[in-house]
Amino acid sequence: MKIGIAKNKKKIFVSLYNKNIEIHPLWLRERVNDSEHLDKNNNQRLYNPSELNKRLKIKKALIKNKNLNVHFTDGIVSDYQIKDLFDEINKSTSNKDILLWGSNIKHKPVVKYKPRMFEKKEGYIFLKNFYKYGFVIAKKTPSKKNFVTRFANSIGDIRTTNFGVLFNVKSVRKPNDLAYTSHHLLAHTDNPYRKPIPGIQLLHCIKNDSVGGRSTLTDGFAVSNYLRKKYPNYFKLLSTIKIRFTYQSNNTYLENWGEIIEIDKNGALKTIRLSHRLDYVPILKKEKLNQFYKARSLFMKLCNSKKFVIEFKLEPGDIMVMDNYRTLHGRTSYDANVGERHLQGCYIDHDSAESKMKYLKYKMNFNE
């Protein structure tokens, strides 16, 4: 990506998608960042950009070292760091730096836990890996009960649900969710019936000496991309038909609608919703439903296939952090009468994690 200036010095271009695209004068003008226009304590504008002259133009532009100097026709002169402009453009034109993976992933993203790590570079590396892979595992944390809430709060605020601030994943009598049994759990995302869906799930292994009970993970984005390439008609059905997800217990009734594969207006993947225990398809024409059921069946099969699933046993002290909009998780069955498998979990939202990562990168000057 490069910044260029026209010969008359009155137009500025950015090279994007192998094309030179002119940067609108108002786009630059509303990013003026001197103390007259921006409160330095909170980075909020001190003026209303909608009241700027719509005929505003660039009077003169120059590149000095790594800065762009712009004179506007309303008399304002502003300097912009070119790096900051690139960062701003990237926010609106590209996805996060993600790496799709399958069962052949060479190295699982693992970070050794350190106290106060989310005030240090290790915390930034942890979150960077999280957004790259859709999951990350913190090793050698204290394997004591309730520690997961302390760990989560060091990233952001915990999302309380009807399961509580934290929940215990172990086999119990009369469970209000199949997670609290010893049954085999197919690949799924959590809580698709909520508004909004919790963005990040944490699971902390307290004890795991049972026979079986191995954790499974699937990159839902990798499976979706595979489906889009190999079975485009099935991908279209799963990304356009909204289905109902519901949860009921003694005192709770939750319901939400959404696509199994949610994409944005540009076709980029946003959210995977997959929970075969909780989804209900609306009434549609018979032929369309026939095709939808085939598409959903294939997607579920792929999400649980050897091509895409990784399987491993969590060890006491492991905290697995998963992107609930991308990564599907499950487990193999286990014998609840032999040994004990006890995990504790909680949820936080993406805005907290993204805020923490940006804070560590920019405010503490961590360079990649």
Residue 210 confidence (pLDDT): 86
User: In which residue are the tokens 């909520």 written?
Assistant: 194
- 212-240: burial string, b at 16+ Cβ within 10 Å, e else: bbebbbbbbbbbbebbbeebeebbebbbe
User: Do residues 148 and 346 make contact, with C-beta atoms less than 8 angstroms apart?
Assistant: yes
Residue 251 confidence (pLDDT): 85
User: In which residue are the tokens 């006491």 written?
Assistant: 316
What the chain holds in terms of domains, given with CATH numbers, is 3-93 (3.30.2020.30), 110-362 (3.60.130.10)
How far is the CA of 236 from the CAs of 16, 223, 262, 301, 304, in angstroms? 28, 14, 10, 17, 21
Residue 368 confidence (pLDDT): 54
Residue 337 confidence (pLDDT): 81
Radius of gyration (Cα) for the chain, nearest Å? 24
pLDDT tens digits, one per residue of 131-153: 999 999 999 999 999 999 999 99
Q: What gap in Å lies between CA 97 and CA 187, rounded to an integer?
A: 24
Closest CA to 15 of 88, 68, 86: 86
Sequence-ordered alpha helix ranges (H) in the chain: 25-29, 82-93, 121-133, 147-153, 220-230, 232-240, 286-303, 350-358
The half-sphere exposure of 56 on its side-chain side, counting CA atoms within 13 A, is 21
Q: What gap in Å lies between CA 136 and CA 110, rounded to an integer?
A: 6
Bond preceding residue 282 cis, omega within 30 of 0: no
Strands 110-112 and 135-139: parallel
The structure's pTM equals 0.84
User: Do residues 126 and 138 make contact, with C-beta atoms less than 8 angstroms apart?
Assistant: yes
User: Do residues 111 and 133 make contact, with C-beta atoms less than 8 angstroms apart?
Assistant: no
Write the CB contacts of 166 (distance below 8 Å, at least 6 apart in sequence).
146, 148, 149, 158, 344, 345, 346
Residue 16 confidence (pLDDT): 73
Residue 83 confidence (pLDDT): 87
Residue 182 confidence (pLDDT): 65
Angle at 89 between CA 57 and CA 91, to 5 degrees: 140
Q: What percent of the chain has pLDDT over 90?
A: 74
End-to-end Cα, the chain, rounded Å: 18
The amino acid present at 135, given as its one-letter code, is F
Q: What gap in Å lies between CA 207 and CA 187, rounded to an integer?
A: 22
Sequence-ordered alpha helix ranges (H) in 312-363: 350-358
| Ranges of residues in the chain whose predicted pLDDT is under 50 | 94
Residue 367 confidence (pLDDT): 57
User: Do residues 272 and 243 make contact, with C-beta atoms less than 8 angstroms apart?
Assistant: no
